[in-house]
Amino acid sequence: MFDWIPDSHFVTATTRSLVVMFSTIVFSVGVGLPLGTLAGLYQFRRKRFLLGILAIPLLMPSFLWAIGLSQFQELFTISGFSHSSGALGSVFVFSSLLIPLSIYTSMLGVKSVSPHQIDAFILAGSALWAFFQVLKRTAPITILISILAGIMTLSDPGPGLILGFPSAAAEILISFSALFDFDLARQQCFFIAGLSLFFFLPIMLFLGSHLSAVLLAQESSSIKLVENSTVQRYAAPTFIILLIIIIGIPLVGLFKPLWQGIDFNYALKTIQRTWLNTIFYSTNSGLLSTVFALTFVLFFGHYQKIRIAMLSFSLLFIILPSSFVALNVLELGASVSTSWDWLFRGRLLISAVLGLRFFPIATLLVLNRYASISPTWFEAAKISGVSKTKFYLQVLIPFLAPSLALSVLVISLLATAEIGTVLLLRPPGEDSFPLAIFTVMANASEIKVSSLCLIYFVISAVNLTVLWTIFGKKA
């Protein structure tokens, strides 16, 4: 009856993971909420440039940041945290990935505060008092998104494996990759999935409507508080210090072995072996995710209650452990006939699972654009006798085209960094480039691993630059 409950060893690992999760959430909210509110309210020097660089950690696999931190500790001989080093390191890695998300979410929260409310705050008190009033109103959405992102850390094995921290996700990975015990791995995955739902469902039940109102808020005018010389003087240096900590420290450690030279031959051979698979997985997942989102939005986006439910429920796909979904897909594929091999044992399956995993982000991007459509468009179409199909093809889809393109690009970049799904579902020899780094990092030399990391970072930085140049101002 209680076969689904893991043994005490795994329960202990889960407890440790929960401590790391809540610590990460506290750090992320504590740093991201005030800085995000500041960036949403004020203009300061190099603001767009700094916010663009801040997106880099969101596109990096967490294990790369863990490798960088580990190498940084060795470089400056500060790795002597005894048994707590893995826990502290995991909190640092996860916080480095979540703080940018908290900052961006707080900026979105500022959009939901009308300029008239801000004017009223300024009239009622000082600019500092008004700032804290806006911060109080952006706090719920920032805490909510940080909790949801924190839940995802429960299923991320990268930092734990590299930093020597026995997390629950690392135990799951060991179960199916080292012990080859899929029954045990499935049991552990169900436990983590149930725990994720335990945190997720109450949040969505009580704050789902608030989430929709904030994330789909439309900026009606430029929002700024009264110009403040203190903000102008210290905002940019504060963001620079933050970037040095959450990006500079991992990168210094990550590229430390390259001081002895770069193994371009090994890196190029790895790229030649994996680039087609990487592009196939990422591009198709972006396309599939965007098509799913567009279909849902066109059919249900016009109804407010359904829109809230759709946005809330879609987040379920992203908080569930990737290993949980992949293991169940593997079990399903093993139970069907060989005539379905083209679907359950091919590369297309990976793209479909990744597309489903990042479907909530595509839905949000498309819904945000859809929410700005005037209801008079639909009324005019009805009066003119325009069919739904013609209205969708000639009016709505062209209007949504910028957000659709953005969705494909963003999901493709995020899917590239996902290794759990690819690790479990890939056909033999069909690795992606990030997975190639993950699988060789324990056996290859530091120079080879760092050379691969350098190539991956450069490619990601170039893609981010192109994305931010095209969509940054609107974003």
CATH of residue 276's domain is: 1.10.3720.10
Using CB atoms within 10 A of its CB, is residue 370 exposed (0-12), middle (13-18) or buried (19+)?
Answer: buried
pLDDT at position 224: 52
Higher pLDDT, 438 or 285: 285
Q: Rounded CA gap, 44 and 42, in Å? A: 6
Copy the structure tokens of residue 137. Answer: 């109103």
What pLDDT is recorded for position 244? 94
Residues 6+ apart with CB under 8 A from 466: none
Residue 227 and residue 183 share a domain: yes
> Does the pLDDT value for residue 55 go beyond 80?
yes
Tell me: do 238 and 327 sit in the same domain. Answer: no
Same domain, 419 and 385: yes
Distance CA 155, CA 176 (A): 14
Residue at 141: amino acid letter:
I
Give the mean pLDDT of the chain: 81
Which of the listed residues 189, 224, 254 is the one where a domain comes to its end? 254
Distance CA 74, CA 72 (A): 5
For residues 380 and 471, membership in a common domain is answered with: yes
Residues 135 and 86 in one domain: yes
Measured between alpha carbons, how far is 455 from 416 in angstroms, rounded to an integer? 14
Say yes or no: 340 and 356 in one domain: yes
Is the pLDDT score of 283 beyond 80? yes
Does residue 305 share a domain with residue 195? no
Tell me, yes or no, whether 247 and 292 share the same domain: no
Same domain, 239 and 334: no
pLDDT number for residue 180:
64
Do 264 and 237 reside in the same domain of the chain?
A: no
Residue 287 has a CB neighbour count (10 Å cut-off) of 18
Tokens of 289: 């995710």
pTM of the model as a whole: 0.84
H or E element, residue 154: none
Q: Residue 437 is part of which domain span?
A: 260-475
Q: Which residues contact 430 (CB under 8 A, 6 or more apart)?
A: 277, 347
Do 281 and 407 fall within a single domain? Answer: yes
Question: Is the predicted pLDDT of residue 208 greater than 50, yes or no?
Answer: yes
Instruction: Render pLDDT for 230-270 as a digit per residue (tens, 0 to 9).
Output: 788 888 999 999 999 999 999 998 888 888 888 888 888 88
Q: Give the pLDDT of residue 473.
A: 59
Distance CA 335, CA 341 (A): 11
Angle between helices 264-300 and 397-416 (to 10 degrees): 140
Of the three residues 254, 278, 313, the one that is the final residue of a domain is: 254
- Taking CA 121 as the corner, what is the angle to CA 120 and CA 123, rounded to the nearest 5 degrees? 65
Choosing from 254, 274, 297, the residue where a domain stops is 254
User: pLDDT tens digits for 69-91?
Assistant: 888 887 776 654 444 467 888 99
Q: Quick one: which of 247, 299, 229 has its CA closest to 100?
A: 247
For residue range 428-475, list pLDDT tens digits in order: 878 888 888 888 877 778 888 888 888 888 888 888 887 777 766 555
Q: pLDDT tens digits for 158-176?
A: 888 888 888 888 888 777 7
The CA dihedral of 240, 242, 247, 251, to the nearest 10 degrees, is 70
pLDDT value for 93: 92
Give me 154's structure tokens.
């429960």
Q: Percent of the chain, pLDDT > 90? A: 12
Rounded CA separation 28/220 (Å): 28
Residue 296's pLDDT band, with cuts at 50, 70 and 90, is: confident
- Nearest 10 degrees: Cα torsion 33, 149, 317, 457: 100
Q: Please write the tens of the pLDDT for every residue from 300-353.
A: 777 777 777 777 777 777 787 777 777 777 777 777 777 776 677 778 888 888
- The type of residue at 446 is E
Q: How many domains does the chain have?
A: 2
Mean pLDDT of 26-42: 91
Pair 241, 283 in one domain: no
